[in-house]
Structure 1
Amino acid sequence: MKRFKLWVLTFLLIVSTLAPMTVHAEGEGNIDNGGGGLGEGTDTNYWNTGDEGVRVTVVSASDGSAVTASIDLTNRNPSDIKVHFGKVCKSDYRGGAGLSAKVGGYDYYVPAQSLPKIIPTSSGSASLAAIKSYFTDEQVIRSIAGYVGMDYDTLIGGDYKLLLEPIAYVTFEGVRTAFTATEAAMYNQVRGGMVRKKLTSLTHKNLPLAMFLETSDLGYPAWSGGKNQKVSDDEIIGSLGLGIVRFNEVITPEVIAADYEYRVNTDVVTAVTVSGGQSDPDHPVSVTFRILGRSYTVNNVYYPEDGQQLVWVKWHTPSTEQHITISVSVSGGGSPSKGTITVNIVDLDKNPPPNPVADDRNDSYNAGNAIVPANPQKTSASWSVWRPWWKEKWVWHSDWEWKTGSHTEDCPEDCESSHGYWEDEGEYVDEGWWEYSLDRYSASLSATMNLSTDEKSPTATETTIKSGYGVNISVNASASTSQSSATTPPQTAVSYFPEFYYKTYWRLLERTRSGYHAGFEFQNNHYSTYNRRTHFTPIWMPDGTYTVYTYLLDCWTPDGMLSVNLTDSVQISGDLWDDWHIAPQKVR
């Protein structure tokens, strides 16, 4: 104890001599990240994966100055922190605030929605998409507004932004310490490089590279350096260890309106209606779709006068998200219902849930607010194709010709008759017309979903599990169609979970069986010790019904997309700590 008190005294004396520091930069931005593996620490200088948080400060959108006190969010319970530097944000340090150590009394919030992984490690990178999604989620923003005592509508009105800074909880020289990336760099300068020497991979790589700006904002530059290399104190203080949320751009982003929304790497159908005049084998119509530099032409499109025909093309979407325009042209007469079709192509495999940990808490979770979604559902489709056929009507067309005759022996000598006659040399002419028959087609989609307890849960039954253990999913889809050339199998299934109120995070299921009788399961979970296809329920999930919602989609027809809403449940009773016990070892 005496040694600790002497160390703290020395620490405070050193910090008190630190001169104020100012950093200058400029620009506009968002959030990006990098980082990599961490080396081994020592018994007095180390950091454990997951010992992290985020400092959040509401700042002025005009100059970046803090307008509220900063708050620290974490999934942990860091009540053992002995040394920290107060709630000072990067903007305050830039404005001249000095580094001032505090002993004890570290305040923090454990948010209702668990933070995603922030600091990357050798065991797994942090998901930039998950971090962005988390800090632009309405419920998270409302919670932050409540923590800092600001009206939610005022916060998101456009006059303010959120300044985010990653925090690490470390053991440095035997003392539990909390600091942001900026504070770690400033403290390293005070200690003559000792922080970097003892915790280099954390304080000068993974922590500062956990967040940096994609584009400049609030006077901080975008980071253009390496994303997996050690950086200097000055680089950290000037450019790293921060993210910015702009409410007028992130919370309410501009939505590009589109006629279709498709998923990446998916077989899809795009359709238009052609009408005008009559199209038949004597006067056929052709329709051309121009998609991503390729032309798809549909020939022999027929329809009766004053009729119309649905015309479609089946194609495969690219592997990257994008907004594209499809042009449609008609030759031979008629016109399309749309000459230009806009398409959004999206990737759903970008926002899986963060890693759950054993000491997660969510004291404010309200099961009544976890309302199962009801996305558009369409389980059957129908369309038709005009098939022309010729209706014969044979009509005699006369062609009378005068035939000149000759005299016979019966004629008198003075016979003046020509003995001619009229002969009809006409013919039958088919004056028929094109009749049309309507060939009708249809498709339907049905599916079942089974949510089961993971077999690695030692005390689970078929329908009951303790919170903290995993669940598995099996979706079986069956599509039928009378025109397979115009229909795609079901290709996509996405699951949503009650702990995230069926939003914020989701799992894109893997198609384990293709074709019209497709099967889907969870992707392998890299947080699972056995790399199983599982989703871990949070340790804090209350007892009761645990319902997973799955949206099955991307079964395309000329009449649009077929889709099904699915749910299934297990019961939660107790938590995984109930399966742990400590007993004395038997003496042999």
Structure 2
Amino acid sequence: MKRLFSIFLSLALLLTLCTPLSAYADGDGDGNIDHGGGGLGNGSDENFWNSGDEGVRVTVIRASDHAVASASVDFTNRHPDNIIINFGKVSKIAYNNGHALALNTGRYSYVNPAQPLPKIINSDQGQSSIEVIKSYFTDEQVLRSIANLTGFSYSILTNGNYKILLEPIAYFTFYGARVAMTATEAALYDQRLGGDLRSKMASLTHKNLPLSMFLDTSDLGYPAWTGSRDDRVSDSTIISSLGLGIVRFSAAEPPTQVSTQNYTYRVNTEVITPVTVSGGQSDPDHPVTVRFNIGGRNYAVGNVYYPDGDSQLAWVRWTTPSTPQSMAIHVSATGRGSTSEGTINASIVDLSGHDPPDPNADDRNSGYSPASMPSNPQKTSASWNVWRPVWHADWVWVSDWVWHGDDTSGSWEDNGSWVDHGWWDFACDTYSASLSASMSITPDGKDPTASDETIKSGYGINQTAAASVSTNQSSAVTGAQTAVTYFPEFGYKTYWRLLDPTAGGFNARFEFAPNRYSTYNRRTHFTPLWMPDGSYTPYTFLEDCWTPTGMLSMNLTDSVTIRGNLWSDWRAIPALP
């Protein structure tokens, strides 16, 4: 014993330290830890370790600069009150940053967690499960306990600004004295003893302890371990690459967001009303649902999916009311425990009731001059994307070692199983719609002197507008539903004719409504008697072909030629006696 104390008390250690394990937490926690190790062989009366005499040192590290952000806490299921020698509560990162390895012969402090630790260090007496270790250190209740013991609130600890450093600890007997060491401390101490610790306890301090935790992916400046999982390792390898785990947290999940815009619709029109949803990732494990409340009726659009950092259109198909009005459409999007709300202001207008007045024989307009042809904004094609989640399977064998036999003989059997540790990938399906249309003006069939496309003023014209829509997602598109014709005699304003849809759907057809001033109730428009000779060109705006990215529309024109007027077709003769 005197020799042991002289060894410890003569230490003047100023060493740096580096020993990794990694666990990553995302929200409630997502583990990234691996391990190795095997049997320990035989010890001696003065130098030995008992299976289960173990613990884990926990330290909070600031993610931005890898600075130590809390005091370290040692968790164990044991009651190691007989520890004579330890090196205090110092983390691997602290050693790496220049903290000296210092002997501590005072009382060793520890915490027995409410949820007992899983087995950490492999031995002949039992094998640890890396899946169980991951699950333990990413469990919400365990994380809440760590937060409380290290002086953090749970929300701050897990907000993505901090990481938790884990280091396995072994409690063993060395030269007859009980000691407590992390893997890094054991390697640093062995360097100071010139290899004496390794010569007595190599299977523990230079294999099973450091290999009980290491990184799957590099983090905090430590590399992922790609070496052997069952061979003894050197002091320098332990210091640089082994004996640690990291629990990391992604930044707080962005809340679900819904973006809206306002629309103008026509009465009695089938429309597509879209919103854009974003925030975090939406997949079959965390779907987003969008709800629309339109005129007191609820519509729900479920399974709105999109990858992290992207967005998705969600839409509803409905028919506007039959009377003009202002409507407030309330929208909510719910996903990942958050809800975003928005409002769409929809103005419902009626284009009917502006038919031209009854033309009269004595109408005059000596000051007439042709107006510029109008041109409304038109859009003849649209495309949109729909994200489709695709499961990416990743099957991993999870061991579950069971001892078959008695205390003196038997064998281990792996009763593990394959577990799918896959994730969601996303495919993008692209859809589109296009609108084509034409307009034809012809002399009315009751015009007795029309010739081809030439008429005399005062007679009527007929009109046909045809609209064709093609799409690869018909459920998200409407046919063209509205056509309005404006006339040169009114300067293409003031009066217009709302055309009758005589065929609907994706191959729509529109004509003038029956004219109440027509003797024969014809679908006609009468040109004014005073219209000067030349080209007579009505203008039609075709609209209300709705898609998830807005309305498709077209400007249409056609002409007839005016030459003379209908009075030239009349003559006065004496009445017979």
Query: TM-score, normalising length from structure 1?
Result: 0.52
1:418 corresponds to? 408
1:458 corresponds to? 448
Distance apart, 1:336 and its partner CA: 8.6
SS in 2 for 1:471: strand
CA contact (8 A) 2:332 2:341 kept: no
- Deviation digits for residues 401-444 of structure 1 (CA, Å, limit 9, x no counterpart): 22225xxxxxxxxxxx8222222222211110011111211111
Distance apart, 1:568 and its partner CA: 0.1
Q: Pick closer, same or farther for the CA change 1:312–1:303 going to 2, 3 Å.
A: same
- In 1, distance between residues paired with 2:576 and 2:563? 32
1:355 corresponds to? 358
Larger Rg: 2
Task: Kindly report which structure 2 residues correspond to 1:49-448, keeping only aligned pairs within 5 A, or say none.
Answer: 259-333=262-336, 339-367=342-370, 370-404=371-405, 418-448=408-438
- In 2, distance between residues paired with 1:360 and 1:262? 36
Which of 482, 485, 490 is residue 500 of structure 1 equivalent to? 490
- Deviation digits for residues 47-100 of structure 1 (CA, Å, limit 9, x no counterpart): xxxxxxxxxxxxxxxxxxxxxxxxxxxxxxxxxxxxxxxxxxxxxxxxxxxxxx
Superposed structure 1 runs of 4+ greater than 3 Å apart: 333-338, 584-587
- In 1, distance between residues paired with 2:381 and 2:340? 23
CA contact (8 A) 2:333 2:341 kept: no
- In 2, distance between residues paired with 1:466 and 1:335? 69
CA contact (8 A) 1:494 1:550 kept: yes
Where structure 2 has 5 or more consecutive residues not aligned to the other structure, the ranges are 1-260
CA contact (8 A) 2:398 2:419 kept: yes
Distance apart, 1:399 and its partner CA: 2.0
- In 2, distance between residues paired with 1:560 and 1:335? 28
- In 1, distance between residues paired with 2:544 and 2:462? 22
- In 1, distance between residues paired with 2:350 and 2:339? 30
Amino acid at match of 1:577: W
- Deviation digits for residues 215-248 of structure 1 (CA, Å, limit 9, x no counterpart): xxxxxxxxxxxxxxxxxxxxxxxxxxxxxxxxxx
- In 2, distance between residues paired with 1:341 and 1:524? 37
% same residue: 63
Distance apart, 1:397 and its partner CA: 1.5
Distance apart, 1:333 and its partner CA: 3.4
- In 1, distance between residues paired with 2:427 and 2:274? 21
Amino acid at match of 2:559: S
Distance apart, 1:451 and its partner CA: 0.3
2:536 corresponds to? 546
- In 2, distance between residues paired with 1:283 and 1:506? 52
- In 2, distance between residues paired with 1:495 and 1:452? 14
1:222 corresponds to? none
- In 2, distance between residues paired with 1:521 and 1:569? 15
Amino acid at match of 1:291: I
- Deviation digits for residues 440-493 of structure 1 (CA, Å, limit 9, x no counterpart): 111111011100011111111120010111011001111111111111111110
CA contact (8 A) 2:293 2:299 kept: yes
Task: Kindly report which structure 2 residues correspond to 1:464-503, keeping only aligned pairs within 5 A, or say none.
Answer: 464-503=454-493
- In 1, distance between residues paired with 2:265 and 2:452? 36
CA contact (8 A) 1:262 1:344 kept: yes
Q: Pick closer, same or farther for the CA change 1:422–1:283 going to 2, 3 Å.
A: same
Distance apart, 1:579 and its partner CA: 0.7
2:49 corresponds to? none
- Deviation digits for residues 244-281 of structure 1 (CA, Å, limit 9, x no counterpart): xxxxxxxxxxxxxx810100001001000001111111
CA contact (8 A) 2:378 2:552 kept: yes
- Deviation digits for residues 336-385 of structure 1 (CA, Å, limit 9, x no counterpart): 99711001100001211111101100011012xx1111111111111121
Amino acid at match of 2:342: G
1:529 corresponds to? 519
CA contact (8 A) 1:273 1:336 kept: no
Distance apart, 1:303 and its partner CA: 1.1
Where structure 1 has 5 or more consecutive residues not aligned to the other structure, the ranges are 1-257, 406-416
Q: Pick closer, same or farther for the CA change 1:334–1:569 going to 2, 3 Å.
A: farther
Cα root mean square deviation, aligned:
1.7
CA contact (8 A) 2:334 2:340 kept: no
CA contact (8 A) 2:331 2:342 kept: yes
Q: Pick closer, same or farther for the CA change 1:552–1:338 going to 2, 3 Å.
A: farther
Q: Pick closer, same or farther for the CA change 1:499–1:334 going to 2, 3 Å.
A: farther
SS in 2 for 1:578: helix
Q: Pick closer, same or farther for the CA change 1:503–1:284 going to 2, 3 Å.
A: same
CA contact (8 A) 2:536 2:559 kept: yes
1:580 corresponds to? 570
- In 1, distance between residues paired with 2:340 and 2:401? 52
- In 2, distance between residues paired with 1:361 and 1:336? 64
1:38 corresponds to? none
SS in 1 for 2:489: helix
Alignment size in residue pairs:
317
SS in 1 for 2:567: helix
